[in-house]
Amino acid sequence: MVRGKVELKRIENTTSRQVTFTKRRNGLLKKAYELSVLCDAEVAMIIFSQKGKLYDFSSSKSIRTAPSIHRLWLGYVSMRKTIERYREHVKKDENCIPETEVNTQKLKKESAIIQQKLEQLEASRRKYLGQDLVSCSLDEVIELDSKLEHALRTIRERKAHLFKEQTEKLKAKERYLMEENARLVQETAILCQKRDRISPQHYVKEKDVITRSQSSPFSEVETDLFVGLRPSHNYRD
């Protein structure tokens, strides 16, 4: 016969609950004993019933070999030894927490603080934009108005300062262009004076060269077109 699956929940019937406790307790103690013998493991088990009755097991070899009159006392000593060993092991593990875990916890705390600050800044930004003002009290609105006035005054001062700097730069550029213009005018005047100082004979020589080039025999080229024999002036009939 196949054993059915038992639903894991509290047994309401008191008698059935007590019977199940006894059977399972004995099976658990048996398994603990077998584990200690087969695997040479140190096993300690403590069970308290619903009525507060204590059931324990310790795997000390001295308990199994000792007379029955001393087993209770030896079991207590063995149990206490195992519990102390467990506490030392747990304490050692707590003291040997990896550094990465400590850093992780620290980063989590810092992240939570930063997240909180970001939420506060976002709420302040919305208030400065005129949003979410319904939840603000009169004092908060007055303080917000004062901060905005101060901010606007600072912005206007900065704007005036930038305008002043821009104006000064443009004036400096204007002065530079005027000086450059005056320098160019002066250089042009100097060049004109130098040209006026040149001797008139230079212009006469240039005129003679132009006249001779125009009176050269090669200046005129015959362009008449004739087809056939050219007539000779010495031809006789």
Rg of the chain over CA atoms, in angstroms?
Answer: 59
What separation in angstroms does the CA of 44 have from each of 77, 78, 81, 87, 211? 11, 8, 10, 13, 138
Scan for tokens 């006894």, then name that residue. Answer: 22
Confidence at residue 213, expressed as pLDDT on a 0 to 100 scale:
54
Structure tokens at 112: 């939570």
**Cα–Cα dist 213/217, whole Å:** 9
Confidence at residue 82, expressed as pLDDT on a 0 to 100 scale:
84
Contact 29, 57 (CB under 8 A): yes
pLDDT tens sequence across 13-62: 889 989 999 999 999 989 988 998 899 888 888 889 888 888 888 876 54
Confidence at residue 159, expressed as pLDDT on a 0 to 100 scale:
93
Confidence at residue 133, expressed as pLDDT on a 0 to 100 scale:
80
pTM (two decimals)? 0.36
Confidence at residue 236, expressed as pLDDT on a 0 to 100 scale:
46
Confidence at residue 195, expressed as pLDDT on a 0 to 100 scale:
82
Which stretches of the chain score pLDDT less than 50? Answer: 62, 65-67, 69, 218-221, 225-227, 235-237
